[in-house]
Amino acid sequence: MTDRESQKVELVDTSGHPMGSTTVDDAHQAPGRLHRAFSVFLRDPDGRVLIQQRAAVKTRFPLRWANSCCGHPGPGEEVAAAARQRLIEELGVTSVPPLTEVGVYTYFAEDPATGRVEHEYDHVLVGEIPAGLTLRPDPDEVAGTRWVTVAALLGEMARDSRAYAPWLFGVTTRLAEASPGGMPQSDVPERSGGR
Query: Which DSSP category does 164 fall into?
Result: B
pLDDT at 172 over 70: yes
Q: Confidence class of residue 150 from pLDDT cuts 50, 70 and 90?
A: very high
Strand partners, 9: 22
Q: Confidence class of residue 182 from pLDDT cuts 50, 70 and 90?
A: low
Question: In this predicted structure, what is the pLDDT of residue 132?
Answer: 82
Q: Confidence class of residue 192 from pLDDT cuts 50, 70 and 90?
A: very low
Give the chain's mean pLDDT: 89
pLDDT at 114 over 90: no
Q: Confidence class of residue 185 from pLDDT cuts 50, 70 and 90?
A: very low
Domains in the chain with CATH codes: 3-187 (3.90.79.10)
**pTM more than 0.85:** yes
Q: Please give the backbone phi and psi of residue 94, each rounded to the nearest 5 degrees, phi first.
A: -85, -25
Q: E-strand spans in the chain?
A: 8-12, 18-23, 35-43, 48-54, 65-67, 69-71, 100-110, 117-128, 142-149
pLDDT at 133 over 80: yes
Q: Confidence class of residue 193 from pLDDT cuts 50, 70 and 90?
A: very low
pLDDT over 70 for what percent of the chain?
Answer: 91
Query: Would you name the residues annotated as active-site residues?
Result: 70, 120
Question: In this predicted structure, what is the pLDDT of residue 183?
Answer: 52
Q: Confidence class of residue 112 from pLDDT cuts 50, 70 and 90?
A: confident
